[in-house]
């Protein structure tokens, strides 16, 4: 494993965070429905948010924001495309951040969001979606 990383065991013999793959593997190998994840402490952190005034109404206005840090050249904000809802703003913010990360060939980023929809989508729903 690369220097500075961690492994998280979400479902294994002992749920926790480990500093080596060997420690993590001992907790998940042979464990039914084991779940592990590599977490990089030096990964760039991006904050995303969406907002909507008049959410659910005809005249609603919504926007998104992407924040990489103070004065960062990739910070972005703008109106949402399509129907104006707070969830569309949240989704568009993450879409913009992920496209930026892919464009810069980042291997890993940490997305910080207050959106329950996004958190549940990534943690629970995504595995059930069809491509």
- 27 in a domain, yes or no? yes
Q: Which pLDDT belongs to residue 123?
A: 72
**110 and 95, same structural domain?**
yes
Q: Is residue 131 part of a domain?
A: no
pLDDT recorded at residue 129:
75
In the block, tokens 């495309």 appear at 81
Domain count, the chain: 2
109 lies in a domain? yes
Q: What is the pLDDT of residue 37?
A: 63
**Whether 50 and 16 share a structural domain:** no
pLDDT at residue 1, rounded to an integer? 37
Q: Is residue 6 within a helix (H) or strand (E), and if so which, with residue range?
A: strand 5-11
Candidates 41, 119, 111; CA nearest to 87 is: 119
30 and 77 co-located in one domain: no
Residue-number span of the structural domain to which 15 is assigned: 5-40
How would you write the pLDDT of the chain (131 residues) with one tens digit per residue? 344 567 777 778 888 777 887 888 888 888 887 766 666 667 888 999 999 999 989 999 999 999 999 999 999 999 999 999 999 999 999 999 999 999 999 888 888 899 988 888 877 777 787 66
What's the confidence (pLDDT) of residue 68?
Answer: 96
Place of tokens 């940490």: 110
**pLDDT at residue 29, as a whole number:** 85
Whether residue 14 lies inside any domain: the answer is yes
Encoding tokens for residue 53?
């005034």
The verdict on 52 and 113 lying in the same domain is yes
Q: Is position 25 within any domain?
A: yes
């Amino acid at each position: 494993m690369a220097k500075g990383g961690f492994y998280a065991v979400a479902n294994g013999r002992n749920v926790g965070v480990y500093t080596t793959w060997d420690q993590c593997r001992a907790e998940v190998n042979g464990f039914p429905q084991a779940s592990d994840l590599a977490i990089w402490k030096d990964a760039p952190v991006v904050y995303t948010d969406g907002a909507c005034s008049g959410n659910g109404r005809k005249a609603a206005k919504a926007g998104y924001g992407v924040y990489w840090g103070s004065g960062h050249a990739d910070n972005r904000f703008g109106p949402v495309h399509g129907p104006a809802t707070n969830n569309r703003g949240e989704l568009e913010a993450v879409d913009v951040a992920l496209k930026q990360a892919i464009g810069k060939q980042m291997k890993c980023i940490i997305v910080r969001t207050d959106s329950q929809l996004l958190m549940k989508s990534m943690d629970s729903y995504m595995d059930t979606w069809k491509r």
